[in-house]
C-alpha cells in the first residue's frame, strides 16, 4: 500500500518569504509518480507538477521549485518570494504503475499555506 505524509498542517508566512512544503511518501513499487496539486480558496484542484521515480532531477518553474530525493523518499515543494495569491491548500500525491492500485492517486493530508501581505 502507498502512503503520503505532509507533516505540516498549516504554514503562515509574510509576503516575499520563501516557504518549503514537505512531502514524504512510502511505496514498495520501484516505478511510481509524484504529483503536487494546489487548491485555491475557490476549491478546484490545480495540477502543478508530476515527477517519475526514475528522474531525480530537480525542477524549477518560475517561483516554484521541487526537490525530489529518493534516498529520503521526499518530494518537497518550495515557493520563493511568496505572494498572497499563493495562499491555498497544497496536496502531494503518489501514483504507482499499474498493479492493484489501477491509477489511484494517494494523497497526503494537505498543507494550508497562508501568505500575509
Cell of 106: 494517494
Asked whether position 41 contacts another protein by CB under 8 A, the answer is no
**Candidate ranges 14-22, 58-66, 71-79, 87-95; the one touching another protein (CB under 8 A):** 87-95
Strands 111-116 and 10-14, bridge-based pairing: parallel
Dump strand ranges (E) for 8-101: 10-14, 19-21, 24-26, 32-39, 46-52, 59-61, 64-69, 74-79, 88-96
Q: Does 84 bind another protein (CB under 8 A)?
A: no
How many of the chain's residues bind another protein (CB under 8 A)?
A: 29
26 touches 73 (CB < 8 A): yes
Q: Which one of the spans 17-25, 40-48, 60-68, 74-82 is the region binding another protein (CB under 8 A)?
A: 40-48
Closest approach of another protein to the CB of residue 117, in Å: 25
The H or E element containing residue 54 is none
- 88 part of the interface to another protein, by CB under 8 A: no
Chain residues binding another protein by CB under 8 A are 4, 6, 9, 31-33, 35, 37, 43-45, 47, 50, 52, 91, 93, 95-98, 101-105, 107-110
Amino acid at each position: 500500500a502507498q502512503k503520503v505524509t505532509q507533516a505540516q498542517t498549516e504554514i503562515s508566512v509574510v509576503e516575499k518569504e520563501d516557504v518549503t512544503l514537505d512531502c514524504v511518501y512510502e511505496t514498495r513499487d520501484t516505478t511510481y509518480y509524484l504529483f503536487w496539486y494546489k487548491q485555491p480558496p475557490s476549491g478546484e484542484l490545480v495540477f502543478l507538477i508530476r515527477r517519475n521515480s526514475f528522474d531525480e532531477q530537480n525542477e524549477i518553474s518560475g517561483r516554484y521549485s521541487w526537490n525530489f530525493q529518493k534516498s529520503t523518499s521526499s518530494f518537497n515543494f518550495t515557493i520563493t518570494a511568496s505572494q498572497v495569491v499563493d495562499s491555498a491548500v497544497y496536496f502531494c500525491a503518489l501514483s504507482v504503475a499499474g498493479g492493484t492500485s489501477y491509477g489511484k492517486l494517494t494523497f497526503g493530508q494537505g498543507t494550508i499555506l497562508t501568505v500575509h501581505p
